[in-house]
Amino acid sequence: MAGHSKWANIKIRKGSQDAKRGKAFTKVSREIIVAARGGGGDPEMNARLRLAIAKAREVNMPKDTIERAIKKGTGELEGEDYQEVMYEGYGPHGVALMIEALTDNRNRTAPEVRALLDKRGGKLGDPGCVAWMFEAKGLVTIKADGVDEDELLMVALDAGAEDLKNEGETIAITSSTESFMEVRQAIEDAGYTLVDSELARIPTTTVALDAETAPSVLRLMDDLDDLDDVQKVHANFDVDDAVLEAIADST
């Protein structure tokens, strides 16, 4: 798993995302609205909406808030017209970034992203400048404690997974984007504890960071995540787990 996914999982495990619950609600609500607008309000017929609702439940979003977001997406309630935008560029130390945003004002979002990248030693690039370094995949992460990897592998492969990797405290299961929801459901139905699940951009090559170079990149990742319009940030850095833990403990 790329370093940015490890970093996200460490923060989730340490509870450092609790203070950002309001922002999490905003991001998930936007995803539900866009998913419902594009594929209808029935999660059984709309895989993207089904995943968005699952993410909403992971952050303990109230049921009535979820239902209002769906109705905004289907037009039953008035709501903002969010557009999907992908920004590409570089962070410090040559780290490639793909930044997914949902915005109702591109003229606001692009300058915010550009200014933050400039401030943190990065640079916004042209469309396509780093996309070739990433593959679109489904990614399910579970707690590794007490897991029989052979049994998990059978469950995952039967559902259409492509690969399984032990990351120490967690196990990452990747799949095609088409098989993602089936893999996620099979793993959950088998009783495994999900840490996270997402449609991710997996880097084909990575930039190794150490204790000196990692903090500036992780600071940028956190700052980008704090922007209201930014939904996800994908990056191709890799950092030793011990370094990530040390940085997390110091923040």
Average pLDDT over residues 25-41: 94
Do strands 123-124 and 161-166 pair parallel, antiparallel, or not at all (unpaired)? unpaired
CB-based contact 167:139 (threshold 8 Å)? no
Can you give the C-alpha Rg of the chain in angstroms?
18
Structural domains of the chain sorted by starting position, each given as residue range(s) with its CATH number in brackets = 1-12+82-251 (3.30.70.980), 13-74 (1.10.10.200)
Q: Which residue has the tokens 């606001």?
A: 108
CB-based contact 221:95 (threshold 8 Å)? no
Q: What is the pLDDT of residue 167?
A: 81
Q: What is the pLDDT of residue 11?
A: 66
Whether residue 15 is predicted with pLDDT greater than 80 in this model: the reply is no
Nearest residue to 207 (alpha-carbon basis) of 8, 9, 7, 4 = 4
Residue 203's SS3 state is: strand
Residue 150's Cβ-count burial label (10 Å; 0-12, 13-18, 19+) is exposed
Q: pLDDT grade, residue 1 (50/70/90)?
A: low
pTM: 0.88
Model confidence over 38-92: pLDDT tens digits? Answer: 999 999 999 899 999 998 998 889 999 999 999 999 999 998 899 999 999 999 9
Model confidence over 92-103: pLDDT tens digits? Answer: 999 999 999 999
Average pLDDT over residues 1-23: 62
Q: What is the pLDDT of residue 249?
A: 75
